[in-house]
Amino acid sequence: MSKPAIALDFERPVVQLEAKIAELKELSGGVRADLSEEIQRLERKAKKLQQEIFSDLSPWQIVQLARHPNRPYTLDYLGRLFTDFFEMEGDRRFSADHSIIGGFARFQGEPVLVLGHQKGRGTKENMLRNFGMPRPEGYRKARRLFDLAERFRRPVIIFIDTPGAYPGIGAEERGQAEAIAVNLEVMSSLSVPSISVVIGEGASGGALGIGVTSRILMLQYAWYNVISPESCSSILYRDPNQGKKSAEALKLTAKDLAGFGITDEIVPEPSGGAHRDHDAIARTVGETIARHLAELKKLTPEQIVLDRYRKYRAMGVYTTED
């Protein structure tokens, strides 16, 4: 387990302890004194502290974890779980949108279509990826790939991680809402297995535009909602700094959504979050995808469409009056 380069406020006590442990281990190699007992004591203390912190995270802390800059992105999973990836670019209308990547690949030897939102690491890459906020051409590229998956009978695997669809004037002029709406229609009628995994942020139509799948999986510290906490607080409280308050009200955590029947399974993260061990979370995600994919492959194309229809009809909680 490597030490995160960046620590959130509530992580900092653990990270400081781990830094102390690393310092003692380095010293123990060059001095006569035996520091193993002290190191073991601090390791036990760090493990206990981490368990205490992460056993009772607030919704706002989960939002922060989902945005951690060291958290694995789509390309990190793609490199660990897929082989023979062939990226397909462009929407055949306007341009290439690098905030959504996709193409054909092999998952455990089986041909699939894989796509997802991609954020950047550092200013230059974030500009290229538009901070993971797709424009219309990104959603039209995704639609083109969905059509190809349907034509060639390839299962679809999707990674969701976006703060939302890009709200700029140019995107609106080129039909942002229409591009997302068409994707909802196309995905709802796919007759091949489809699985989406919310690996970080799942905000608004930006996430839903590639998220109408037969199975929806969520990482333990991901979030998924119709709006981000900051945007919600700007509208409701006229104050974007009330994100913490909005996060409590929005019911956006994986646990909340499982209770509403929206997510099909919560994928547990390594101790301290996915950003602390990319290999471990990739293995867990891969095993979970494989299990759900095997179940979906038992269904006929007609049953896949019907199964998805029933899933979305049953979502949510409501009451009726006599």
Please state the domain extents for the chain.
Answer: 9-56, 63-313
What's the rounded Cα separation, in Å, for the pair 315 and 259? 10
Return the CATH fold of 63-313. 2-enoyl-CoA Hydratase; Chain A, domain 1 (3.90.226)
Residues in the chain: 322
Tell me the C-alpha distance between 288 and 273, whole Å.
17
The overall average pLDDT reported for the chain is 91
- CB distance 138 to 100 below 8 Å: yes
The single residue listed with the structure tokens 């442990």 is 21
Q: Is the dihedral of CA 13, 18, 19, 21 positive or negative?
A: positive
pTM here?
0.91
pLDDT-derived band at 34, boundaries 50, 70, 90: low
Question: Residue 152, exposed/middle/buried by CB under 10 A (0-12, 13-18, 19+)?
Answer: exposed
Take residue 203 and report the two structure tokens written for it: 């905000």
Please report the DSSP string for 24-86 in residue order: HHHHHTTSSS--HHHHHHHHHHHHHHHHHHHTT--HHHHHHHHT-TTS--HHHHHHHHEEEEE
Judge whether residue 321 has pLDDT over 50: yes
pLDDT band at 90 (very low <50, low <70, confident <90, very high): very high
Q: State residue 139 phi and psi, 5-degree precision.
A: -70, -35
pLDDT band at 8 (very low <50, low <70, confident <90, very high): confident
Neighbours of 133 (CB within 10 A): 22
Confidence band for 3, pLDDT divided at 50, 70 and 90: very low
Closest to 74 in 3D by CA, of 105, 51, 99, 41: 99
pLDDT at 118 over 80: yes
Report d(CA 91, CA 88) in Å as an integer. Answer: 9
Q: Which amino acid is at 223?
A: W
User: Would the pLDDT of 113 be above 50?
Assistant: yes
Confidence of residue 49 (pLDDT cuts 50, 70, 90): confident
